[in-house]
Amino acid sequence: MPDTLWGYIVEVVQENHVPIQGAFIMATKNYTVEGMTCGHCEMSVQEEVGEIAGVTSVNADHNTGAVTVEGADFTDEQVSAAVAEAGYKLV
Ligand SMILES: [Cu+2]
């Protein structure tokens, strides 16, 4: 009986340590990008930023410079690097 009880406790502890898949916290972040002048610029930024792991949607507006990024587990540094890769500057 004690062996069974011990085994049961170990199992519960292990179960509680199983990482829960799909529990990432989704976030929407707003950035301002300098240098976009037309729809092609928007596309370039959206493409590059969209390649960041965890990013689910990107919306860029060349009129305002606003770039909205939605996703989980991405950093400002990654967005800044992607914007620079596209040829623009995060401000
Ligand atoms: Cu353009």
Residue 48 C-alpha to ligand 1 middle, in angstroms?
A: 14
Residue 49 C-alpha to ligand 1 middle, in angstroms?
A: 16
In a domain, 72, yes or no: yes
Q: Helices 39-50 and 76-86 sit at what angle, rounded to 10 degrees?
A: 140
Residue 20 C-alpha to ligand 1 middle, in angstroms?
A: 42
DSSP bridge partners of 32: 66
Mean pLDDT by 10 residues, the chain (91 residues): 49 49 77 98 98 96 98 95 98 94
What is the domain count for the chain?
1
- CA torsion through residues 43, 45, 51, 55, sign: negative
Distance CA 70, CA 56 (A): 6
Widest Cα–Cα separation across the chain = 75
In a domain, 14, yes or no: no
Range of the domain at 32: 20-90
In a domain, 64, yes or no: yes
In a domain, 11, yes or no: no
CATH number at residue 48: 3.30.70.100
Residue 13 C-alpha to ligand 1 middle, in angstroms?
A: 56
In a domain, 9, yes or no: no
Identity at 27, one-letter amino acid code = A
pTM of the model: 0.74
Distance CA 63, CA 37 (A): 7
